[in-house]
Structure 1
Amino acid sequence: MGLSFSKVGIVGGTGGMGEWFANFLEKQGYDVYPVGRSTELTPKMMARLCDVVVISVPIPVTIQMIQTIGPFVKERRLLMDLTSIKQKPLEAMLAHTDAEVVGVHPLFGPVENAEGQRVAICQGRGNSGLKWVKKVFDTGKLKILEMEPKEHDRLMGLIQGVNHFSTLGLAHCIRSSGFSIDEIEKCSTSTFKRRLDRIYKLLEQPADLFGSLLIDNPESLNYIRLYRDVLNEMIPIIENKDHDAFQKLFYSLRGE
């Protein structure tokens, strides 16, 4: 017999993706209980009340929150998270609760309309919770990607780790170049202006958000090292003015 999930509590539900998920669920008719620093409702109180408990807090405190709240989420209920790393949070949830467990990573930031966006889902324990999570996102017309947590973290090590690392690296290079931002912007091509916009957008965010993506996912360092290695392979081509080697590399990257 399937379980009933009607009351959803969200730790971190007053900001960021937790707030987005609260609004997303409310539009589908669920009773949502957000918990934040300024709410009277505490995580433990909410865990006793709700059928579904969602952890949506910064990565560095996710495991601690799971350890604190997990024992209060009883069997025949659901404990899930919304973090960008999946293996360690899933292991912690499985270790600290008897409830059903699902790991979720929305592959986007807070948006007004998430239709067509992708969400990664990793099964932990039980089938009813997994079915409910899939139904919720299917109702919202999101694209569901089911995967193993290890596979997820390896992919995010490349997709998020190298992506953000290279953006920060370009920002560091610009600052070290000796040119002022005004000089750079005045002469920027449209392509480079888009790169600058990405840098500005990233640097507007809290540092610990990107620090966690780079440092707390152990797979990120592997792909950052790979990125360093391929750059070191490419630099001699430029140093040696080797047009033939450059064309060979260029066309190989096009799959030719």
Structure 2
Amino acid sequence: MVHSCHTTLIPESVTNHVKPRQITIIGGRGRMGKFFKEQFSAVGHNVRVLEQDDWEYADQLLNQAELVLISVPIKYTVDVIQRAAKYLASTTALCDITSIKTQPTQAMLEYHPGPVMGLHPMFGPNIKSFLGQKVVVCPGRNENSFQWLLDFIKSQGVEVIACTPEEHDRMMVFVQATQHFLRFSLGVFLAQTRIELDRSLSMSTPNYRKEIDILKSLFSQNPNLCVDIMLATEERCQAISSLANTYSRLARLVARKDRTALIQEFENTQGFFKEEKHYSPTLPTITKKDNKRDFEPQMHFNT
């Protein structure tokens, strides 16, 4: 059974004696795929890659794998799961690292009878190691088959957070989608103003410098990744629209110089952030009856 945990570090001597596993990464030449390939290979696992032009070799790349990890853009994930599943042995552990979890997990459960788990690394491909990072884990079926994988990433300094796919997707509306929109908008605004960025940094606060660093990191990525994160689900689009409406409402108060109303908004929000809520995540397992949940697969495969 997988449990929520705090970061644990295991000595390097332990990771040097892991049992080599046969791993295939679909999308392993993408930036995140490359990162996982490097991390697995560094401790002795045998890692192979399947890309768009390799499907004629899918049987030999997938059939003998102990773990198949899917690392493709969000809009192709369900199609790739469906396409790959026909080549997998019933004992193959199948997981994805997409930033949405409900549809991919449902698809894996539907198309693959073996072990299934959804992972979401809460970091981008610019990092150098797992140390100090978080990975969200959404169990699907036979999670014991993934214990070696979870033990490995925890040994590298990862904090594992367990939740259902549905809770993950609700949280990512705020953790990812609205944050991307907020910073995407600010970056576009700063570019439109033609601000002298270096000059502004020379007289900036620490918080401003941190924000500019985050913006630089965001805009150094592939634009498709940022846009897909914002557009991934209807819930994300609706939340971003609601956030934009909030901006507009507050901007109107600023335009009217309505000091009283702005202070009232601030005080109302203070109350929210002063509330202390304690949450202890549990780890429900998705059962067969849950496999019937409706979802709309996106039928456009092209990695």
8 Å contact from structure 2 (residues 116, 143) kept in 1:
no
Aligned to 1:45: 60
Match of residue 129, structure 1, among 142, 145, 154: 145
Cα distance in structure 2, aligned partners of 1:135 and 1:197: 32
Compute the TM-score of the two structures, normalised by the length of structure 2: 0.74
Does residue 72 (structure 1) correspond to residue 87 (structure 2)? The answer is yes
Cα distance in structure 1, aligned partners of 2:22 and 2:112: 18
Indicate the larger mover: 46-55 or 165-174: 165-174
Q: Could you say if the C-alpha distance between residues 56 and 208 of structure 1 is closer, same or farther in structure 2, counting changes exceeding 3 Å?
A: same
SS at match of 1:254: helix
User: What is the one-letter code of the residue matched to 2:214?
Assistant: R
TM alignment of 1:99-138, pairs within 5 A: 99-110=114-125, 111-138=127-154
Cα distance in structure 1, aligned partners of 2:72 and 2:143: 25
Aligned to 1:186: 199
SS at match of 2:86: helix
Cα distance in structure 2, aligned partners of 1:196 and 1:113: 23
- CA-CA distance at 1:73 after TM superposition: 1.2
Match of residue 39, structure 2, among 24, 32, 42: 24
TM alignment of 1:79-228, pairs within 5 A: 79-110=94-125, 111-176=127-192, 179-182=193-196, 185-187=198-200, 189-191=203-205, 192=208, 194-228=210-244
8 Å contact from structure 2 (residues 135, 161) kept in 1:
yes
Q: Could you say if the C-alpha distance between residues 56 and 44 of structure 1 is closer, same or farther in structure 2, counting changes exceeding 3 Å?
A: farther
Cα distance in structure 1, aligned partners of 2:212 and 2:155: 37
| Runs ≥4 residues deviating over 4 A | 37-41, 191-194
Compute the TM-score of the two structures, normalised by the length of structure 1: 0.86
Identity of aligned residues (%): 26
Aligned to 2:70: 55
User: What is the one-letter code of the residue matched to 1:186?
Assistant: R
Q: Could you say if the C-alpha distance between residues 30 and 241 of structure 1 is closer, same or farther in structure 2, counting changes exceeding 3 Å?
A: same
Aligned to 1:241: 257
Cα distance in structure 1, aligned partners of 2:250 and 2:191: 23
Aligned to 1:12: 27
User: What is the one-letter code of the residue matched to 1:109?
Assistant: G
Unaligned runs of 5+ in 1: none
8 Å contact from structure 1 (residues 102, 129) kept in 2:
no
Cα distance in structure 2, aligned partners of 1:40 and 1:240: 61
Cα distance in structure 2, aligned partners of 1:128 and 1:194: 40
Unaligned runs of 5+ in 2: 1-18, 275-303
8 Å contact from structure 1 (residues 10, 18) kept in 2:
yes
8 Å contact from structure 1 (residues 79, 102) kept in 2:
yes
User: What is the one-letter code of the residue matched to 1:152?
Assistant: H
Aligned to 1:36: 51
User: What is the one-letter code of the residue matched to 1:8?
Assistant: I
Match of residue 269, structure 2, among 220, 240, 253: 253
- CA-CA distance at 1:187 after TM superposition: 4.3
- CA-CA distance at 1:90 after TM superposition: 0.9
Cα distance in structure 2, aligned partners of 1:42 and 1:83: 24
- CA-CA distance at 1:33 after TM superposition: 1.5
Cα distance in structure 1, aligned partners of 2:251 and 2:55: 57
- CA-CA distance at 1:196 after TM superposition: 4.0
SS at match of 1:235: helix
Q: Could you say if the C-alpha distance between residues 28 and 252 of structure 1 is closer, same or farther in structure 2, counting changes exceeding 3 Å?
A: farther
